[in-house]
């Protein structure tokens, strides 16, 4: 039968009791055989645990994390609030409430759920919670990263010369499936290029939601969507570039 004081004895042995409580337990220990056994086990365990493996981080991983954080430190300015009216002050409390209100509004939109999913994922990424998992302007870095983190291999070419700079990638969810997201910057705007496996679903035509424009297309067994608040003409130009790079693959 378990002694009622056993947890308190354990706390005493772990050095968690104050002086007054410690005296009480010491008195209890003098006549409780069960707690005496507990104390003996505790000492044994402590000695044994000295032999347990403490996993120190390998030097290569430590360096990798350092580099990742350096890159992330440079990414931060991208997450400044949008200059579109609605997003003014998105970093403030009122802005946060406005975002919550916008998300609540999205939920009740009786429109295609994929459009809603993408709008939400896009807004989430802009809220600075989760824009980029792998930060790099090199598609030789971004593309292989997806091999281990997404179900599809998305196009991830840099179009810097055309004004669309590759800044990284992340894994996200769209419409219940894992999506690879390649992130571009165009001036002050962010473009999220979502790619997920085609499951023979019909995609919506070009759509707008809360000032964000979305263009959908299918190519090479993939469903793709580009989402951004850039000018519609610029988004179309971006989509044309991606399509061209895909057909080269």
**Residue placing its CB nearer to other proteins in the complex, 64 or 160:** 64
Rounded least distance, CB 127 to other proteins, Å: 11
Query: Is 128 among the residues that bind other proteins (CB under 8 A)?
Result: yes
CA dist., res. 18 & res. 107, Å (int)? 53
Contact pick of 46, 83, 160, 244 for other proteins (by CB under 8 A): 46
Stretch that binds other proteins, among 66-74, 80-88, 112-120, 241-249 (CB under 8 A): 66-74
Query: Is 54 among the residues that bind other proteins (CB under 8 A)?
Result: yes
Query: Is 55 among the residues that bind other proteins (CB under 8 A)?
Result: yes
Angle between helices 93-107 and 113-126 (to 10 degrees): 170
Q: DSSP state, 80?
A: S
Of the candidates 190, 215, 238, 198, the residue with the CA atom closest to the CA atom of residue 118: 215
Contact pick of 62, 199, 218, 244 for other proteins (by CB under 8 A): 62
Q: Are the C-beta atoms of residues 222 and 195 closer than 8 Å to each other? A: yes
Report in angstroms the alpha-carbon separations of 159 from 71, 183, 200, 239: 20, 12, 29, 11
Contact pick of 19, 52, 107, 147 for other proteins (by CB under 8 A): 52
**Residue placing its CB nearer to other proteins in the complex, 6 or 141:** 6
Residue length of the chain: 249
Query: Is 63 among the residues that bind other proteins (CB under 8 A)?
Result: no
Contact pick of 21, 23, 24, 41 for other proteins (by CB under 8 A): 41
Residues numbered 183-222 forming contacts with other proteins, rule: CB under 8 A = none
Residues facing 189 on adjacent strands: 186
CA dist., res. 243 & res. 219, Å (int)? 8
Query: Is 80 among the residues that bind other proteins (CB under 8 A)?
Result: no
Query: Is 14 among the residues that bind other proteins (CB under 8 A)?
Result: yes
Phi-psi bin for 80: left (phi > 0), alpha (psi -120 to 50), beta? beta
User: Under DSSP, is residue 183 helix (H, G, I), strand (E, B) or coil?
Assistant: strand
Stretch that binds other proteins, among 6-14, 18-26, 110-118, 201-209 (CB under 8 A): 6-14
Q: Are the C-beta atoms of residues 13 and 5 closer than 8 Å to each other? A: no
Binding site for other proteins (CB under 8 A): 2, 6-7, 10-11, 14, 16, 41-42, 44-49, 51-57, 61-62, 64-66, 68-70, 72-73, 76, 128-129, 133, 148, 178
């Amino acid at each position: 039968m378990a002694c009622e004081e056993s947890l308190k004895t354990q706390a005493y042995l772990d050095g968690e009791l104050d002086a007054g409580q410690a005296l009480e337990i010491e008195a209890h220990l003098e006549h409780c055989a069960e707690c005496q056994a507990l104390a003996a086990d505790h000492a044994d365990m402590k000695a044994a645990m000295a032999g347990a493996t403490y996993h120190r981080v390998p030097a290569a991983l430590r360096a990798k994390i350092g580099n990742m954080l350096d890159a992330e430190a440079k990414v931060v300015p991208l997450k400044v609030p949008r200059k579109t009216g609605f997003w003014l002050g998105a970093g403030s409390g009122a802005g946060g409430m406005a975002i919550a209100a916008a998300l609540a509004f999205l939920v009740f939109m009786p429109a295609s759920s994929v459009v809603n999913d993408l709008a939400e994922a896009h807004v989430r990424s802009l809220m600075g919670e989760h824009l980029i998992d792998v930060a790099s302007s090199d598609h030789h870095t971004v593309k292989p990263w997806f091999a281990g983190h997404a179900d599809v291999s998305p196009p991830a070419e840099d179009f810097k010369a055309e004004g669309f700079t590759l800044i990284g990638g992340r894994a996200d969810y769209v419409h219940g499936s894992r999506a690879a997201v390649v992130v571009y910057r165009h001036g002050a705007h962010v473009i999220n290029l979502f790619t997920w496996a085609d499951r023979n679903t019909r995609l919506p035509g070009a759509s707008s939601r809360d000032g964000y424009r979305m263009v959908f297309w299918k190519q090479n067994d993939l469903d793709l969507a580009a989402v951004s608040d850039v000018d519609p003409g610029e988004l179309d130009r971006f989509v044309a570039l991606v399509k061209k790079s895909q057909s080269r693959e």
